[in-house]
Chains A and B, each alone.
Chain A
Amino acid sequence: MSPLTNKTPLPDAGGGTLLQEQAHSLLACPDCDLVFPLPCLSPGEKARCGRCGAVLMEPKSHGFDYSIALALTSLLLFVLSNTFPLLKLQIAGREQIGAIMTGVHALYDQGFWEIAFLVLLVTIIAPLFRIISVLYVLLPLWFGRRLVGAAHIFRWMEILRPWAMSEVFMLGILVAMVKLGDLATIQPGVALYSFAGLILFMAATDASLDDGAIWVRLEDGA
């Protein structure tokens, strides 16, 4: 995709009479503040800032229904991942079952409430909030409605984006399994498979979200 340049004449700021209306037809780079006229893109195209290379706009080819379907699947997989055992450990004839919450509990019981809270936040609270937010915002929009606080919820979904770390947790599971490999017998539980699915579907949901279009719909009052 060719980078945008701001050679196109912009509304004159000299007189100091830039209207709120005109702001609608403009776009600013979040990383370097350069202003561009709103480009006309077809789905699948990407607009990059010509100065710093940031992605400015990325309209998606699928509709909201596509994101809703992915988010619903994620929600189902999330529930499975947190109800069934993740790993089973067999050592000297004894069996120990572990899930995400078991880890949070164990850390809390040992007096490490800071890490217990951190793990709870990044593996359960943030991912769950993000999945539910997508549904809360998009389902009503799909029916042409908008629920109370949808803009606030969607805003928080964006803020929590870096704090939802399910895919990092998956890698942690892998390392833990290898570390325990020669100490005991490790059996994957049902939740491990649903968790692997969960990170795929969550990534797909994120990739399918058309932030720009969602914000425009939220502003226009659906």
Chain B
Amino acid sequence: MREAELVELEKSGATFEPRIVAFFCNWCTYLAADLAGTSRMKYPPNARIIRVMCSGRVDPQFVLEAFAKGADGVLIGGCHPGDCHYQEGNYKTLRRVHLLKTVLKGMGIEEDRFRLEWISAAEGDKLRAVMTDMVEKVRALGPLRLELPKEVFEEEEVAV
């Protein structure tokens, strides 16, 4: 099938596959994804994983840009509180995520599209569960569709 037809199908909602951008910390969640892989756990392949040195490296601009460029959901994975390789990077993430969630809500982006999870290097199973759950929730919400609709005006004439 041609690319254009696939895009058309997806737009119609018939074959919607959520696109998730996942920022995983190098020391915990990325290793959990590795573990899930080597343990042959199955989970939906919808996430594009981006490895960062620390969840604290995830600038809120990255999240907004992901949404602006077509992500249907954004997942941040970091070490459990107290376990950060850099001592407090994940606390900074936690605080930013709280405020970013308020902003995203104000911008009309549904809560389930943005998620922060603590997943240690040993928790391949949690990674599988989180991925599966998030993909299901975003699938239920449908495509984000941020692109602006064309300016269409109703019949704006009046005769007297």
Are A and B bound to each other?
no
Write the residues of chain B forming the contact surface with A, with a CB cutoff of 8 angstroms: none
